[in-house]
Structure 1
Amino acid sequence: MDEREGGGRRPDPEVEPKARRRSFSAAYKLRILNEYEAAPDGQKGAILRRENLYSAHIVEWRKAREAGALAGLSKPKGRPPVDDRDKELEKLRAEKAKLE
């Protein structure tokens, strides 16, 4: 049976208009590094194939981990939370200004 006769569908030949770079979280990188380093030599390639990674990823992630960069990436983005002392200080300043 020919695919053109309705038996099967051909995949869409169109390519994504813009390639997207994959991004990995710091937690994922550390998990994969630990799993990769704990694996026996014959299983390391299987981990890379399963995760669709290259050995260059492991090399770069190791360098980042040794430089301490991965620890910094795990911190949440944005402003740090306001300290309770700062809130109390602002409240006291407003109260002082009101009394004066």
Structure 2
Amino acid sequence: MDDIVFYGLIVIGGLLLVAMLVTAIVLATRVWKTGKYLQAMGAGGKFAFWGAIIYTISPVDLLPDPIYLDDVGVLGAALIYLTRLAAKHRERPQQKVR
């Protein structure tokens, strides 16, 4: 393999890893901001929120840490679940306090 191709692949791989890291940070931030609705989401929402945050910062992963694909998947799934829970909560009729 030519040296230029080899170094080109290393640079492309590095850029992909940085892009995955940025994506994981953005998703973690969005999940964290969604956490303010935890009181209304119940136990499932709390488990999804804290599970995603703990998995993201945990050193034990399905894939080695330079590959953030599993972290992005867990954060994305938690964000989708929490967003749906928040939408359900908003759709419920608000009960008036007497």
Q: TM-score, normalised by structure 1?
A: 0.31
Q: TM-score, normalised by structure 2?
A: 0.31
Greater share of residues in helix: 2
